[in-house]
Structure 1
Amino acid sequence: MQQTNGQPTTGQQPIGKLSGKIALVTGASSGIGAATALALAQEGAAVALVARRQDRLEQVAQTIQDAGGRAAVIVADIAQPEQARNAVAQTVSQLGGLDILVNNAGLMLLGPVAGADSDDWHRMMDLNVLALMHLTQAAVEVMKPKQSGHIVNISSVSGRGASPTSAGYSATKWAVGGFSEGLRQEVRLDRIRVTVIEPGVVATELTDHITHQDTKTTYESRISTMVPLEAEDIAAAVVYATTQPERVNVNQLLIRPLDQG
Structure 2
Amino acid sequence: MNNIQGKVVIITGASSGIGEATAYKLAEQGAKLVLGARRENKLKTIADNIKSKGGEAVYRITDVVKAEDNIALVELAKAAFGKLDAIFLNAGLMPNAPLSALETHNWNAMVDVNIKGVLNGIAAVLPTFTAQKSGHIISTSSVAGLKVYPGAAVYCGTKWAVKAIMEALRMESAQAGTNIRTATIYPAAVQSELVAGITDKATSGAYRQLYDAYEIPAERVANVVAFALSQPEDTNVSEFTLGPLTQPW
Question: TM-score over 0.5 for the alignment?
Answer: yes
Is 1:61 the counterpart of 2:47 in the alignment?
Answer: yes
2:142 to 149, 153, 156: 156
Of 137-146 and 164-173, the range deviating more from structure 2: 137-146
Q: Which amino acid aligns with 2:225?
A: V
1:145 to 131, 134, 138: 131
Q: Which amino acid aligns with 1:147?
A: K
Is 1:25 the counterpart of 2:11 in the alignment?
Answer: yes
Q: Name structure 1 gaps, 5 residues minimum.
A: 1-14
Q: Name structure 2 gaps, 5 residues minimum.
A: none
Q: State the partner residue of 1:8.
A: none
2:26 to 40, 64, 76: 40
Query: Per-residue deviation at 1:222?
Result: 2.7
Query: Per-residue deviation at 1:73?
Result: 1.1
Equivalent-residue separation in structure 2 for 1:87 and 1:17 (angstroms): 23
Equivalent-residue separation in structure 2 for 1:171 and 1:95 (angstroms): 36
SS of equivalent residue, structure 2 residue 181: strand
1:74 to 55, 60, 66: 60
Query: Per-residue deviation at 1:176?
Result: 0.2
Equivalent-residue separation in structure 2 for 1:238 and 1:70 (angstroms): 18
Q: Aligned pair in 2 of structure 1 residues 76, 161: CA closer, same or farther (>3 Å)? A: same
* Match runs of 1:1-261 below 5 Å: 16-188=2-174, 189-226=177-214, 228-261=215-248
The answer on whether the counterparts of 1:91 and 1:98 sit within 8 Å (CA) in structure 2 is yes
Query: Per-residue deviation at 1:16?
Result: 4.4
SS of equivalent residue, structure 2 residue 225: helix
Q: Per-residue displacement from partner, 1:162-204 (whole Å, max 9, x unpaired)?
A: 1111101000000000000000011122011000011000121
SS of equivalent residue, structure 1 residue 224: helix
Q: Per-residue displacement from partner, 1:126-151 (whole Å, max 9, x unpaired)?
A: 11110111111111111111111100
Q: Which amino acid aligns with 2:224?
A: A
Equivalent-residue separation in structure 1 for 2:212 and 2:21 (angstroms): 22
Of 100-109 and 73-82, the range deviating more from structure 2: 73-82
Equivalent-residue separation in structure 1 for 2:128 and 2:50 (angstroms): 25
SS of equivalent residue, structure 2 residue 101: coil
Q: Per-residue displacement from partner, 1:64-97 (whole Å, max 9, x unpaired)?
A: 1112111111111121222222222222222212
SS of equivalent residue, structure 2 residue 15: coil
Query: Per-residue deviation at 1:28?
Result: 0.8
The answer on whether the counterparts of 1:17 and 1:44 sit within 8 Å (CA) in structure 2 is no
Report sequence identity in percent.
Answer: 36
Query: Per-residue deviation at 1:206?
Result: 1.0
The answer on whether the counterparts of 1:88 and 1:135 sit within 8 Å (CA) in structure 2 is no
| TM-score calculated relative to the size of structure 1 | 0.91
Task: Give aligned pairs, total.
Answer: 246
